[in-house]
Amino acid sequence: MSSKGSVVLAYSGGLDTSRYVIAYLAGIGQKKDFEEARKKDISREFVEFIWPAIQSSTLYEDCYLLGTSLTRSCIDCKQVEILQREGAKYVSHGATGKRNDQVRFELTCYSLAPQIKVVAPWRMPEFYNWFKGRNDLMEYAKQRGTPIPVTPKNPWRMDENLVPIIMPPHLYTKTQDPAKAPNTHDIVEIEFKKGVPVKVTNVKDGPPTRPPWSSSCAKRSCGQAQQQLHWRKVPAGIILYHAHLDIKTFTMDWEMHKTKQGLGLKFAELIYTGCWHSSECEFVCPCLAKSQEQAEGKVQVPVLKGQVYILGRESPLSLYNEELVSMNVQGDYEPIDDTGFIINSLRLKEYHHLQSKVTNR
Amino acid sequence: MSSKGSVVLAYSGGLDTSRYVIAYLAGIGQKKDFEEARKKDISREFVEFIWPAIQSSTLYEDCYLLGTSLTRSCIDCKQVEILQREGAKYVSHGATGKRNDQVRFELTCYSLAPQIKVVAPWRMPEFYNWFKGRNDLMEYAKQRGTPIPVTPKNPWRMDENLVPIIMPPHLYTKTQDPAKAPNTHDIVEIEFKKGVPVKVTNVKDGPPTRPPWSSSCAKRSCGQAQQQLHWRKVPAGIILYHAHLDIKTFTMDWEMHKTKQGLGLKFAELIYTGCWHSSECEFVCPCLAKSQEQAEGKVQVPVLKGQVYILGRESPLSLYNEELVSMNVQGDYEPIDDTGFIINSLRLKEYHHLQSKVTNR
Amino acid sequence: MSSKGSVVLAYSGGLDTSRYVIAYLAGIGQKKDFEEARKKDISREFVEFIWPAIQSSTLYEDCYLLGTSLTRSCIDCKQVEILQREGAKYVSHGATGKRNDQVRFELTCYSLAPQIKVVAPWRMPEFYNWFKGRNDLMEYAKQRGTPIPVTPKNPWRMDENLVPIIMPPHLYTKTQDPAKAPNTHDIVEIEFKKGVPVKVTNVKDGPPTRPPWSSSCAKRSCGQAQQQLHWRKVPAGIILYHAHLDIKTFTMDWEMHKTKQGLGLKFAELIYTGCWHSSECEFVCPCLAKSQEQAEGKVQVPVLKGQVYILGRESPLSLYNEELVSMNVQGDYEPIDDTGFIINSLRLKEYHHLQSKVTNR
Amino acid sequence: MSSKGSVVLAYSGGLDTSRYVIAYLAGIGQKKDFEEARKKDISREFVEFIWPAIQSSTLYEDCYLLGTSLTRSCIDCKQVEILQREGAKYVSHGATGKRNDQVRFELTCYSLAPQIKVVAPWRMPEFYNWFKGRNDLMEYAKQRGTPIPVTPKNPWRMDENLVPIIMPPHLYTKTQDPAKAPNTHDIVEIEFKKGVPVKVTNVKDGPPTRPPWSSSCAKRSCGQAQQQLHWRKVPAGIILYHAHLDIKTFTMDWEMHKTKQGLGLKFAELIYTGCWHSSECEFVCPCLAKSQEQAEGKVQVPVLKGQVYILGRESPLSLYNEELVSMNVQGDYEPIDDTGFIINSLRLKEYHHLQSKVTNR
């Protein structure tokens, strides 16, 4: 069968896409391939998408770990790969016309497969005049007997990974209510090389289960937070974020940190707005990686009732010279070196000197 | 008595300054004034120093709430005020020659009282060759019977406010061990106007005690964190930080947020390096304040066993248009407006088009 | 006549809009008002749009003085004012579908008159399939006898002000070919208060003509430059840019300069992308103005054969302390203050110390 | 002879160092080596220092091409290399205690040779109390018959390269007075690969002389400008700056440009403050280089009476799609793609909608 005119559907299996399965996916007969491709590849590739986010230590709008945005970028890339392979002319997705997911998805398509046409039902009058919103769609699915994973009273979608889960605090799949979590802590030890985690060990509970935070997160109800006004659950994300921050502070010069900070903010913006495949993102990622060459070592992270602490860290590359900062030992640094050390002080003196003259004129 | 040749001592009463009291402070006979000035004024003025930090939502090196730095700036300003009033020619402090505190203090002096000379014993060979470190100093104090608030085994200093306390996790004065905290939560409601907290209420426990977080923090063991490789306890700081972040996200345009982000990072750097009285800081503070004109509303913050959550928020100035983002309602925004909406997509198409040509040549 | 259904046309009188005059403007009968409004008001208002650009000292992409972008923002605001007054429901413009002018214009409309509908013929298939490009349009105008200001061989548009003129170097209306300009220079003196020019004097040629650069620019062929791959002529712009830069450097602390630099870059981006009416632009403009409080004084600018120099400057607010920087006089700054002055040096020592250890392991 | 206790002098041969030659350099017997090392190596190495500056397109404080700063960094590195080889314990320089040169030099020493001690006579009371300033020093040299290259009336120093020369406009060594330059232009063509110039041709004057700008600059009096309130002459610098800017705009995506802009500003600051050997500079340089991978092509630069223009450019990597921006041709971009294209517009609508509600309450 020729696939020249076929449509590939970006399919989450949630409400907006439950409806299309028969009409669209059946037509191209590749549901099985698609499913298998996803199972085999995506979870490993997803990790590759997460590394730069961890290396950048950046929170979008100071609060959002970017989990969902990264998930989308990863899924979208795989999707476009499939549609290129299938020689599809059209691609369709169920993202609504008001949100960022459509932007992310379509920018990926336009970047990687510029010849493709995007079909977005939620932006087509014949569709959105028929279904005024998700409630209409649920009603329609119910009438047709199409099984859907949500109901009007329980409309929350949950991705099946440990990075980003949006839901209200009373819903828990990967973690649990902190108040019900045991009152003892686990200790997770994370080892970093070049700013990415290479090994995770559950220090306290004996031999590591794999991945060790899976059980720790669940038991200790770690990782829930309000991010951008939504409850999100990022059990592994929040542990990695704090552990990386700690090893970075331990090994990276503070001016170096400030220098790369702007790139981190840019990276967050690029991911959030779906510009993964832009020239600027292809520039930012290796720069962020380069900034992490010293970020090596182990961090111990106790997890207790939803809270993540740092117990300690060690690194062969630490800039933290115990002798230098000690108040008990004289190092090769002689205090007299600092006498009036500040060229800055001259600058400030002059500024205030002038201010006083100006004020008095 | 003429004070023309007198030395004013920046006096914390900790180890480094316990020793000087007789020699220096007695000389100028103004200990009482000094103490009273501090008691009367500083706690109110300290609050003024904290507001811009809250408005900026900035963490130095992504992790440090700047509490200690702000405390120093506040104390130093008051100090210089006193020495100006006393007509002192010299000022002395016990900050060691290896740390940032001396920079902060001296920059404040040079800015506000450029004629003053700073005497820093820890940078004078006759002093630091005599006392090789704090251990020597403790021994000396012990021999002379000078009472000091620390011992070699317990050398931690604790500021007596709720913003920054540095200590190891097993020491608690204002808060307690999370594992021992009650397994129920308090709910603190914070009201903001122009980005600063104007009212705090303990929603759950009946009538507010004042300040309500004092008891909540203590009971719920809130606010301890590893910041810059040190345990710090910032019970009120951490609540205010998260509550402000939430109301800001709720009321501030995201591009507006990104625009002011650079100023926040600069502010953190200025505070950390003691440049409170620089022209750039005098520029940044009103700009940060201006950015907060919309940051108005109430945030409810549950506190449980050391963890701070956000329960909800309300604001008359919210940019969050429920109708606009809803997937259930059609607003005045028609989805068709978005068809191929992205001029960005053109840019990315061209970039990849060129890349493919270049790769193939 | 009711204007409820009328369309207001953004009318430059160039090729793309020559055609519409009869069909659209005649319909609403307000051509005269429009013309008069423009003549009376815009040139003064335009100046208000230029001040923040001068205060920001920013070049978009390091090279573009933003003249055209500012012109658009100014025209667009006036336009929306008129259409609000007329109660128009539609607004139309002749900007093509590939450029930034449409974005600027439409964002202004959506910001100030969100109820308005934009009609953009160059994006309507029934129009652009009819006229494949500007050549078709010129042919059509010729057939109909509609007078147009351009020809296929001479398609350049020139705005009639001294700020931005795009054209190839061999075309001159406001200035002339540098090679033909006289080999003597004019000297223009510009006086600034709070970073904006308040007085311009032609120092050399006797009594000032008004505006004095009009004749100076013309004679000295000043202000042409390649900006963003286009020849632009910004005779007054280039003089103001350099004069402002000089007075700013003379009066503004360098750290202050660096602090506001990010806002200047943001401002350039906002103007370039048409976001004049965004909350972030409403934030940036007063911040830029605040940064200029010290930028006061007079700058003398010789102009010779297209080149702009700086001869000298004076200011009551200069931070430039002749004594402080002099190598011939000892000021109140004692050199010994600098001995080993650099806390930075400690940081760098440690970094290289560690590097050598790591390299050798 | 053991050199363990020797002092290496950073020697420009200008006024401040003319005096030391006998006392210091003679002592260690390595003047010849030093001279030869400089002649052989520095001019080539200097070029390596300039490349990142060109790639960054950055002007310190928006006006300074950083020539002198780069010269210092280069000289200093070589100097430290020599003193390491000689096993010297001390290094001395003639930079005064009020300027940046001492900072640059000493930071380089502390970074590369942390064990070295710096002897800075201009900061030693026994020296600066003896010679109150440069006038005293000239008098002293005159009395002793030491030849010096400056006089009280003509105190300007000129580096013998084409990048940075500080002097008043009436002094010309490498260039001449624009008013006296011929009224015809030269055309210099510069070829870039990865953002650095690889070939320079004098297009107009027949076969290239090497380096071709040497004669062009001289004849056309190119490259003088007020930078940071000083006359500087940067004949080659100014041509390279403008040519690079042009090829960059022609080949680099504008968002890419904005992304790397912050690194350019940081680089300028690092060079200006002498932090060439910091970890952040070692990070910034390869990032800047990476940003230039597309910056390839030829730029033609006419030079006329001190003014630098751009005549044209060509590149195999241009992002400038003539068809895409043409108003005369329909490309594969259909204008309808832009209808209501701006998600931004939604944001601005909401902002103003809210503002109007708030204003009216």
Residuewise pLDDT in 10s, chain C (361 residues): 344 456 666 555 555 554 433 333 322 333 344 444 444 455 666 777 788 888 988 777 676 777 777 877 787 887 788 778 878 888 887 766 555 677 777 778 777 777 778 777 777 777 777 777 777 878 888 888 777 666 666 554 444 444 444 444 455 555 666 677 777 778 889 999 999 998 888 877 554 444 445 555 556 655 555 555 655 555 678 888 889 999 998 888 878 888 999 999 999 988 888 888 888 898 999 999 999 998 999 999 888 777 788 888 999 887 665 554 444 444 444 433 333 333 455 566 656 665 666 555 5
Domain that holds residue A258: 165-322
Q: Residues D104, D183: one domain? A: no
What would the mean pLDDT of A192-213 be, rounded to a whole number? 71
Shortest Cα distance, chain A CAs vs residue C206, angstroms:
32
A117 touches chain B (CB under 8 A): no
CA distance C220 to C97: 38
Q: Residues B127, B265: one domain? A: no
Q: Residues D237, D313: one domain? A: yes
For residue B256, list chain C residues with Cβ-Cβ distance below 8 A: 278-280, 283
SS3 B169: coil
pLDDT recorded at residue A298: 95
Q: Is the dihedral of CA C286, C287, C290, C294 positive or negative?
A: negative
For residue C290, list chain B residues with Cβ-Cβ distance below 8 A: 283, 286-287
Q: Residues A196, A275: one domain? A: yes
Which residues in chain D come in under a pLDDT of 50? 1-3, 18-40, 156-169, 207-212, 324-343
Q: Residues B44, B173: one domain? A: no
Q: Which residues pair with D190 in a beta bridge?
A: D200, D299
What would the mean pLDDT of A189-216 be, rounded to a whole number? 72
**Overall number of domains in chain D:** 2
- Domain assignment of residue B117, yes or no: yes
D341 touches chain B (CB under 8 A): yes
pLDDT recorded at residue B304: 78
Q: Residues B314, B344: one domain? A: no
- C-beta atoms of B280 and C103 within 8 A: no
- Domain assignment of residue D360, yes or no: no
- C-beta atoms of B324 and D337 within 8 A: no
Instruction: List the single residue in A with minimal CA-CA distance to D263.
Output: A259
Q: What DSSP state is assigned to residue D25?
A: I
pLDDT recorded at residue B284: 95
Question: What number of residues does chain C have?
Answer: 361
Q: Residues B176, B295: one domain? A: yes
- Give the residue among C151, C156, C149 at the shortest CA–CA distance from C172: C156
C354 touches chain A (CB under 8 A): yes
Token couple for C125: 């298939």
Rg (CA), chain D: 25
Residue C14: partners with Cβ closer than 8 Å, 6 or more residues away: C94, C148, C149, C150, C157
Query: What is the pairing mode between strands C186-193 and C297-304?
Result: antiparallel
D320 touches chain B (CB under 8 A): no
Residue indicated by tokens 């080889």: D85
Q: Residues D115, D241: one domain? A: no
CB nearest B259 (choices: C98, C266, C346): C266
- C-beta atoms of C324 and A343 within 8 A: no
In single-letter form, the type of residue at position B265 comes to L
- C-beta atoms of B316 and D341 within 8 A: no
C345 touches chain B (CB under 8 A): no
Residue indicated by tokens 């390091």: C62
C125 touches chain A (CB under 8 A): no
CA distance A194 to A159: 28
Shortest Cα distance, chain A CAs vs residue C119, angstroms:
19
Q: Residues C41, C117: one domain? A: yes
**D55, exposed or middle or buried, with CB in 10 Å at 0-12, 13-18, 19+?**
buried
DSSP H or E segment with residue D37:
helix D31-37
Shortest Cα distance, chain C CAs vs residue A109, angstroms:
20
* CATH number of the domain to which D23 belongs: 3.40.50.620
B112 touches chain A (CB under 8 A): yes
Shortest Cα distance, chain B CAs vs residue D47, angstroms:
29
What would the mean pLDDT of A85-101 be, rounded to a whole number? 73
- C-beta atoms of D259 and A266 within 8 A: yes
When pLDDT is cut at 50, 70 and 90, the band that residue A195 belongs to is: very high
For residue range A316-334, list pLDDT tens digits in order: 887 665 554 444 444 443 4
Percent of chain A with pLDDT over 90: 11
Q: Residues A98, A208: one domain? A: no
Note the ipTM here: 0.76
- Mark residue B323 as left, alpha or beta (left: phi above 0; alpha: psi -120 to 50; beta: remaining): alpha
Residue indicated by tokens 């920087």: C325
In single-letter form, the type of residue at position B112 comes to L
- Give the residue among B273, C302, A352 at the shortest CA–CA distance from D179: C302
- The whole-chain average pLDDT of chain D stands at 69
- C-beta atoms of B344 and A184 within 8 A: no
pLDDT recorded at residue D132: 72
Q: How far are the Cα atoms of A21, C225, D213, D311 from residue D186, in angstroms, in the given order?
A: 69, 17, 9, 11
Token couple for B32: 């009482």
CA distance C348 to D275: 8
* CATH number of the domain to which D242 belongs: 3.90.1260.10
- Domain assignment of residue A1, yes or no: no
- C-beta atoms of D324 and B350 within 8 A: yes
CA distance C173 to C171: 7
CA distance C190 to C202: 9
Please say whether the beta carbons of A83 and A71 come within 8 A: no
For residue A255, list chain C residues with Cβ-Cβ distance below 8 A: 347
CA distance A103 to C309: 48
The domain boundary residue, chosen from A95, A113, A144 = A144
B358 touches chain D (CB under 8 A): yes
Whether cis (ω within 30° of 0) applies to the bond prior to C164 is no
The domain boundary residue, chosen from D119, D144, D169 = D144
- C-beta atoms of B341 and D346 within 8 A: no
Residue indicated by tokens 């006296």: D180
For residue range D178-211, list pLDDT tens digits in order: 677 777 778 889 999 999 998 888 877 554 444 4
Q: Residues C239, C255: one domain? A: yes
pLDDT recorded at residue D326: 47
Q: What DSSP state is assigned to residue D208?
A: P
Token couple for C224: 């042409």
For residue C324, list chain D residues with Cβ-Cβ distance below 8 A: 98
C184 touches chain D (CB under 8 A): yes
Please say whether the beta carbons of D237 and D67 come within 8 A: yes
Least confident of A129-143, A207-221, B23-37, C177-191: B23-37
Whether cis (ω within 30° of 0) applies to the bond prior to A211 is yes
Token couple for C218: 């013309």
Shortest Cα distance, chain D CAs vs residue A12, angstroms:
24
- C-beta atoms of B179 and A304 within 8 A: yes
- Domain assignment of residue B118, yes or no: yes
- Domain assignment of residue C160, yes or no: no
Q: Which of residues 50-89 of C touch D (CB under 8 A)?
A: 57, 61-63
Shortest Cα distance, chain C CAs vs residue D274, angstroms:
10
**C354, exposed or middle or buried, with CB in 10 Å at 0-12, 13-18, 19+?**
buried
Instruction: List the single residue in D with minimal CA-CA distance to C351.
Output: D279
Q: Residues D298, D164: one domain? A: yes
- Domain assignment of residue D264, yes or no: no
Residue indicated by tokens 């440090």: B64
pLDDT recorded at residue C8: 64
Please say whether the beta carbons of D259 and A279 come within 8 A: no
Token couple for A171: 């819903």
Per-residue pLDDT of chain B (361 residues; tens, 9 = 90+): 344 456 666 555 555 554 433 333 322 333 344 444 444 455 666 777 788 888 988 777 676 777 777 877 787 887 788 778 878 888 887 766 555 677 777 778 777 777 778 777 776 777 777 777 777 878 888 888 877 666 666 554 444 444 444 444 455 555 666 677 777 778 889 999 999 998 888 877 554 444 445 555 556 655 555 555 655 555 678 888 889 999 998 888 878 888 999 999 999 988 888 888 888 898 999 999 999 998 999 999 888 777 788 888 999 887 665 554 444 444 444 433 333 333 455 556 666 666 666 555 5
- Domain assignment of residue C335, yes or no: yes
Shortest Cα distance, chain A CAs vs residue D342, angstroms:
11
Torsion of CA C180, C185, C190, C196, to 10 degrees: 30
Shortest Cα distance, chain C CAs vs residue A291, angstroms:
14
- Domain assignment of residue D275, yes or no: no
- Give the residue among D64, D113, D93 at the shortest CA–CA distance from D273: D64
Please say whether the beta carbons of C83 and C91 come within 8 A: yes
Three-class HEC string of chain A: CCCCCCEEEECCCCHHHHCCHHHHHHHHCCHHHHHHHHHHHHHHHHHHHHHHHHHHCCCECCCECCHHHHHHHHHHHHHHHHHHHHCCCEEEECCCCCCHHHHHHHHHHHHHCCCCEEECHHHCHHHHCCCCCHHHHHHHHHHHCCCCCCECCECCCCCCCCCCEECCCCCCCCCCCHHHCCCCCEEEEEEEECCEEEEEEECCCCCCCCCHHHHHHHHHCCCEEEECCEEEECHHHHHHHHHHHHHHHHHCCHHHHHHHHHHHHHHHHHHHCCCCCCHHHHHHHHHHHHHCCCCCEEEEEEEECCEECCCEEECCCCCCCHHHHCCCCCCCCCHHHHCCCCHHHHHHHHHHHHHHHHHHC
- C-beta atoms of A351 and B111 within 8 A: yes
pLDDT recorded at residue A149: 63
End-to-end, the C-alpha distance of chain A in Å comes to 88
The domain boundary residue, chosen from D144, D170, D186 = D144
- C-beta atoms of A122 and B278 within 8 A: no
- C-beta atoms of B333 and D346 within 8 A: yes
Q: How far are the Cα atoms of A60, C12, C18, C116 from residue C22, in angstroms, in the given order?
A: 51, 14, 9, 22
pLDDT recorded at residue D328: 45
CB nearest B317 (choices: D346, D347, D358): D358
CA distance C250 to C315: 8
pLDDT recorded at residue C238: 82
